[in-house]
């Protein structure tokens, strides 16, 4: 993930296009398959920004990445931002709001881009949080289909850390196989999340690498097809090792 914002929870954001490009090129060299560019923070308590400001941040970065042949995903909740990113050459829309913008589905359908649909409903204290996540994702897939989005271009994200406490987040990882019932690729983003810090006794963001590695390996073992991470070199190695064990 490439955070083009000063408000990233992980502390790795930048508003400098040159620095962002350098970071992205380093991530590709370390094993990243996709560079997920986000111009607006999604951390709890973040300050929303306008589409114009989000575009100002991400346009030069995406243009530079595409020019250099990188596969780019745009992490946005705004249809106008997604549209411009796709025009610049992004190939994937990563929408953590699950098509909340009424124009987003049409933008994706027209472009025939890949789309990541994430569940962000609050399922804290639910008796069966994973069942609710599965049902929400199924409803999102149905809505996307009605809008003309090709099912074969849909990726699902259970939303680790969004509307979930440690109990629910760990249940999602433990029972991720239930989400495979939807027969679509699964993306899991656990990297440096607060649940890891809490489980490991209150570790700060910069000390959550080992805990992240455990979640990445478990996610892959239980059925995840892709992972979204900050520490690319280390997590690429974890992913390759987990794949070798699970998939042979």
Q: Which residues are catalytic, by number?
A: 193, 228
3-state secondary structure of 86: helix
Bridge partners of 36?
Answer: 73
Alpha helices (H) in 68-187, listed in sequence order: 79-88, 104-111, 129-146, 166-174
Q: What is the DSSP string of 36-58?
A: EEESS--STTPPP--HHHHHHHH
Q: Is the dihedral of CA 221, 225, 229, 234 positive or negative?
A: positive
**Nearest CA-CA partner of 228 in 43, 33, 39, 46:** 33
| Gap between the Cα atoms of 94 and 83, Å rounded | 12
Residues 6+ apart with CB under 8 A from 17: 4, 60, 61, 64
Kind and range of the H or E run holding 161: none
- Residue 199: other Cβ atoms inside 10 A: 16
């Amino acid at each position: 993930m490439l955070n083009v914002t000063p408000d990233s929870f992980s502390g790795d954001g930048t508003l400098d296009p040159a620095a962002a490009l350098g970071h992205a090129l380093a991530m590709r060299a370390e094993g990243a398959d996709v560079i997920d560019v986000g111009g607006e923070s999604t951390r709890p308590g973040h300050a929303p920004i306008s589409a114009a400001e989000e575009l100002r941040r991400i346009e030069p970065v995406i243009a530079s990445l595409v020019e250099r042949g990188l596969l780019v995903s745009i992490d946005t909740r705004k249809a106008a931002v997604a549209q411009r990113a796709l025009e610049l050459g992004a190939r994937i829309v990563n929408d953590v709001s699950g098509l909340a913008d009424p124009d987003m589905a049409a933008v994706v359908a027209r472009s025939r881009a890949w789309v990541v649909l994430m569940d962000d409903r609050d399922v804290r204290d639910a008796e069966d949080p994973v069942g609710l996540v599965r049902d929400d994702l199924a409803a999102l897939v149905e809505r996307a289909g009605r809008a003309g989005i090709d099912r074969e271009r849909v990726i699902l994200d259970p939303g680790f850390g969004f509307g979930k406490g440690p109990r629910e987040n760990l249940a999602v990882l433990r029972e991720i196989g239930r989400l495979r019932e939807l027969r679509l690729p699964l993306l899991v983003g656990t990297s440096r999340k607060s649940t890891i810090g809490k489980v490991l006794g209150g570790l700060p963001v910069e000390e959550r690498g080992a805990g992240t590695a455990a979640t990445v390996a478990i996610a892959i073992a239980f059925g995840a097809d892709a992972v979204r991470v900050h520490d690319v070199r280390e997590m690429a190695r974890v992913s390759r090792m987990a794949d070798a064990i699970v998939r042979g």
